Amino acid sequence: MSSDFKLDQVKVHDSEDPEVGSINGGLHSILPERRAVTLTDRLFRGSRGGHGEIVSVPNGGDEKRERGDEKREHGSARKSGPLLSGTAYCISSCSMILLNKVVLSGYNFNAGVSLMFYQNLISTVIVVLLGFSGVATVEKLNWKLVRVWIPVNVIFIGMLVSGMYSLKYVNIAMVTILKNVTNILTALGELYLFRKHQNQKVWTAMFFMIISAISSGITDISFDTVGYAWQLSNCVLTASYSLTLRRVMDEAKKYTRSGSLNEVSMVLLNNLLSLPFAALLIILFDEWEYVLNVDVIKLPMFWVVATASGFLGLAISFTSMWFLHQTGPTTYSLVGSLNKIPISLAGLVLFKVPLSLPNLFSILFGLFAGVFFARAKMS
């Protein structure tokens, strides 16, 4: 997977972005196992030996000191876990967006579907290898499961493709602000489909989001009609993806052996099923001819950046789940909102975006509205 639009991609929870995408499991099963192994090692440390070893039983003083060491070690792990996972999530998320922008705008690569195909192929290969090696648990795919999942996958592909093209034409800060529209559409969809009501603070925050999106668009010096059209379609598709996923999840679980569908399996489903659809789009849009003839693919650094973006797309899936596992939906949502601030500022500085003072204030107001929205969802 491959774009910030997969961020939230697969785990559905009450967070600010409905994506997670594109992705969010396997980590839930991996991490508890690792903790269990660590705990077992600690319990039997000093009281069990290997083959041919002498088993020593600690005396009372040694046992107390060991317990004290274990408590300090456990406390240190609990404190560092959220920090490490949060840092990993923020770095992978920021890097993903910036690298996609470099590929699409910096190298002027005009084949967004082909880039998505390459990134999703990388994610598919890695997840399959993780499944075969036993590092992650992946559900066996069957036709009934695939048939149920296809509607989700079609929307997922549209979400990624529209996200790619909007990022090509619109600067990162404006993409971040305009993505707030997704939250509004999702809230309206939840109200209509699931009768889920929001509190007054949430609606106030969404009103601020609308104001910031309109004012940012009006004051955007580098306004691009095509780019804005792609981004608005991305907002609709992202909200649709989140709402459709919630409906399909329960149905999909019926066709798995375990009776559940973890996030790693959903990552595989989305990425693997997207490949034939993406290949068809590449043929229909004649992208294959462009890719074969464009000079940029002869540059080794282009492939380094494109490949790195593919790895980061999958990294977002795992780090977001790791962070969510270490903290919870509330902290995850708030950090996700705050993370948009450095992404936006980095995008403005690194790509030397022409900026007016009113547009800067509109962007900052939109970022504030996003944080306020996340806090309102917590109340």
Predicted TM-score of the model (pTM) = 0.75
User: Between the CA of residue 85 and those of 261, 314, 325, what are the distances in Å?
Assistant: 23, 15, 9
37: which residues sit within 8 A by CB, 6+ positions away?
Answer: none
Alpha carbon distance 8, 330 (integer Å) = 14
pLDDT tens series, the chain, 379 aa? 444 444 333 333 444 443 333 333 333 333 333 333 333 333 233 333 343 343 444 455 555 555 555 555 555 556 677 888 888 888 998 898 999 999 999 999 999 999 999 999 999 999 999 999 988 888 888 999 999 999 999 999 999 999 999 999 999 999 999 988 988 898 888 888 888 888 888 899 889 999 999 998 999 888 999 999 999 999 999 999 988 988 888 888 888 888 888 888 888 999 999 999 999 999 998 999 999 999 999 999 999 999 999 999 889 888 887 887 787 666 676 777 778 888 888 888 888 888 889 988 999 998 898 888 888 877 6
